[in-house]
Amino acid sequence: MKNFNVYNLVRKNILELKPYVSFRDQNEFISPVLLDANESPFGELNRYPDSTQKELKQKLAEIKNISVDQIAIGNGSDELIDLILKVFCEPKKDSILVMNPSFTMYGFYANINENNVIQLDLDENFEIDKEEFLKISKDNNLKVFFLCTPNNPTGNAIEDIEFYIKNFNGIVVVDEAYIEFSEKESNIRLLEKYSNLIVLQTFSKAWGMAGARVGTAYSSDEIIKLINTVKAPYNVNSLSLNKIMQLISYKNIIDKNIKSTLNEISRIKNELLNVECVKKVFPTDANFFLIEFYNAEKVYQELLKNEILTSKRSPQIPECIRINVGKKEENNKLINVLKGI
């Protein structure tokens, strides 16, 4: 995007807002005597967490090869979606663009914030129609495009991401919640080139830390500062921050888990070829499949009877169910039940 000035897109009241800064944030060193925050002197979790999540950001900056000021940490990437809307989208006036079908939380937070949601229907391969995108994106009140890749619930990675970043007159949020399962590179590398880009990632999927609620946003220093201005000061708790720090040093275990998930993906894909009730298995770049059945309702109920919970997508995506990969024995149970239908 040429001659892009991010501040032209920001809500006026947010531009005037001063971020909350605690006394601890204002001091370089942590004093041994802390009498500034009305905490209890007793107990294990008596201190507030670091509101700037310094340690984790330093580690992530090293790993991603960007600066600490280009990282915001959220209570899951869900919170970051909400914060992005708060920064850029004026309630009752501005709109967001989402792919259809895609992750429902973009619309959920937009509804709470009273922003319009404009749907960009994906084609039969779940790709974006570029002409349709160019037509729709001319709308002046369109502030943010949520581009999910690999896309949930369809599973495919979207092609030619740079085209959308280049041709959108607003912020493009590339949601990479499932990127670790994909052969595609992260779009973080494009941050150098485009100042309207935000990349979202999460520790909830490949990292196996959904319970910790930690997500990350990568963008320009300016956008990250704005996100940090609207976030709750202590949005990520110390237990979660400590766990994530420990986990990062065991990256080899995560890599092993990703590999085993990918092996299961290709094994299940082959198995599903021989299952009668399955009509089509859509290609996936993630840890789940979108599967079209001859009778999705019947399959869903039959799986439930066998204590297997899946994510039914019909009627929005006709006769489809989204099913993620579990442990080997869980996957075997799934296949056996499906074979019996």
Q: By CB under 6 A, name the binding residues for ligand PMP.
A: 76-78, 103, 148, 152, 175, 177, 202, 204, 210, 215
Min CB(146)–ligand PMP separation in Å: 9
Question: In this complex, which beta carbon is closest to ligand PMP, that of residue 63 or of residue 134?
Answer: 63
Cα separations in angstroms, 27 against 46, 69, 116, 335: 20, 18, 42, 57
Question: In this complex, which beta carbon is closest to ligand PMP, that of residue 75 or of residue 115?
Answer: 75
Min CB(204)–ligand PMP separation in Å: 3
Q: What are phi and psi of 53, to 5 degrees?
A: 45, 45
The neighbour count for residue 341, using CB atoms within 10 Å, is: 17
Question: To 10 degrees, what angle do helices 296-305 and 328-339 make?
Answer: 120
Min CB(277)–ligand PMP separation in Å: 26
Min CB(214)–ligand PMP separation in Å: 7
The neighbour count for residue 130, using CB atoms within 10 Å, is: 13
Min CB(211)–ligand PMP separation in Å: 9
The residue whose Cβ lies closest to ligand PMP is 76
Question: In this complex, which beta carbon is closest to ligand PMP, that of residue 50 or of residue 175?
Answer: 175
316: which 2 tokens?
């929005």
Q: Give dist(CA 57, CA 264) in Å, integer.
A: 32
Question: In this complex, which beta carbon is closest to ligand PMP, that of residue 217 or of residue 223?
Answer: 217
Min CB(185)–ligand PMP separation in Å: 18
* Torsional sign, CA 328, 334, 337, 341: negative
Question: In this complex, which beta carbon is closest to ligand PMP, that of residue 175 or of residue 271?
Answer: 175
Where do we find the tokens 């495009």? Answer: 145
The burial class, CB within 10 Å (0-12 / 13-18 / 19+), for 257 is middle
Cα separations in angstroms, 19 against 15, 25, 26: 10, 11, 12
How, if at all, do strands 311-312 and 278-281 pair?
unpaired
Question: In this complex, which beta carbon is closest to ligand PMP, that of residue 83 or of residue 278?
Answer: 83
Question: In this complex, which beta carbon is closest to ligand PMP, that of residue 87 or of residue 338?
Answer: 87
Min CB(150)–ligand PMP separation in Å: 8
